[in-house]
Amino acid sequence: MEEKEIHHNSNNIILHNVIDNLKKIINDLKISKNLEITINEINNIIQNLDLIVKTNESSNINLLKTETYENGDKYIGQTKNEKAEGKGIYIFKNGDKYEGEFSNDKFNGKGIYYYIDGDKYEGEFKDDKRDGKGIYISVNGCKYDGEYKNDKRDGKGIMYYEDGNYEGEFKNDKKDGKGIYYYKNGDREMGDYSNGKKIGKHIILKNDGSTQIKEYK
């Protein structure tokens, strides 16, 4: 990190020198109608360079950093105050990989997590955990599109299975609350779920127009 900060500070010194030189040029120029446009352009350049320097000095962001940790993990991306901040890639020793936004050295914001077994999650993160809206695609063909909380399916979402899909409420990674199961043959089953299991009365609307009621304990 020290080399990055030295490079960062040297860039600001160079920019300061450029600004000072441009200011001297303006002072040496004789004001005339032909020079007014040139002077205005130089002034704009100075203002832009001043803004870049102030932004760099206040944010202390290094545009790119590559670091390999003691546990074998690797990070490539933006940093702030020696912590991952902005956009980057985090590669785990086991082969998992995260690409996306970082804040305070953690996955925060939008990103994609690639699992070594082929599964993939794309969506929102909070403090290294899936949190918010996201899509999880499994190699076995299942897919979840919905809300997450504290790294688990929680809220409203849709789970796609081989024989159909469930649309409804989730809690603690399981179907929980009201939901509808759409079977591939056209049947629809509406009812309540608790801890992943069907409970109470379920109404089944058959594809032939008939209705069936089932009771679950």
**70 and 54 in a common domain:** no
Question: Which of 187, 182, 183 shows the shortest CA–CA distance to 204?
Answer: 187
Could you tell me the residue range of the domain that residue 170 belongs to?
141-217
**113 and 71 in a common domain:** yes
Alpha-carbon dihedral of residues 183, 185, 189, 195, nearest 10 degrees?
A: -30
Q: Does a structural domain hold residue 132?
A: no
**217 and 150 in a common domain:** yes
Q: Quote the pLDDT of residue 217.
A: 85
Pick from 59, 75, 92: which residue ends a domain? 59
Q: Does a structural domain hold residue 97?
A: yes
Provide the domain count of the chain.
3
Pick from 127, 150, 170: which residue ends a domain? 127
**47 and 87 in a common domain:** no
**Lowest-confidence region among 35-44, 83-92, 101-110, 141-150:** 35-44
Pick from 97, 127, 157: which residue ends a domain? 127
Q: Is the pLDDT of residue 195 over 70?
A: yes
Confidence of residue 61 (pLDDT cuts 50, 70, 90): low
**89 and 20 in a common domain:** no
Q: Quote the pLDDT of residue 107.
A: 98
Q: Quote the pLDDT of residue 7.
A: 38
Q: Does a structural domain hold residue 36?
A: yes
Q: Quote the pLDDT of residue 1.
A: 28
Q: Quote the pLDDT of residue 82.
A: 87
**112 and 78 in a common domain:** yes
Q: Does a structural domain hold residue 134?
A: no
Structure tokens at 124: 């929102």
Q: Quote the pLDDT of residue 65.
A: 87
**Alpha carbon separation from 155 to 63, 115, 152, 178 (Å, rounded):** 37, 23, 10, 11
132 touches 124 (CB < 8 A): yes
pLDDT by residue (tens digit) across 86-109? 999 999 999 999 999 999 999 999
Confidence of residue 52 (pLDDT cuts 50, 70, 90): very low
**71 and 110 in a common domain:** yes
**212 and 145 in a common domain:** yes
Q: Does a structural domain hold residue 136?
A: no
**192 and 123 in a common domain:** no
**71 and 8 in a common domain:** no
Q: Does a structural domain hold residue 19?
A: yes
> Model pTM?
0.71
Q: Quote the pLDDT of residue 185.
A: 95
Q: Does a structural domain hold residue 135?
A: no
Per-residue burial over 125-145, b = 16 or more CB atoms within 10 Å of its CB, e = otherwise: bbeebbbebbebbeeeeeebb
**40 and 66 in a common domain:** no
Classified as helix, coil or strand, 43 is helix
**54 and 70 in a common domain:** no
Q: Does a structural domain hold residue 157?
A: yes
Q: Quote the pLDDT of residue 134.
A: 98
pLDDT by residue (tens digit) across 77-87? 999 988 999 99
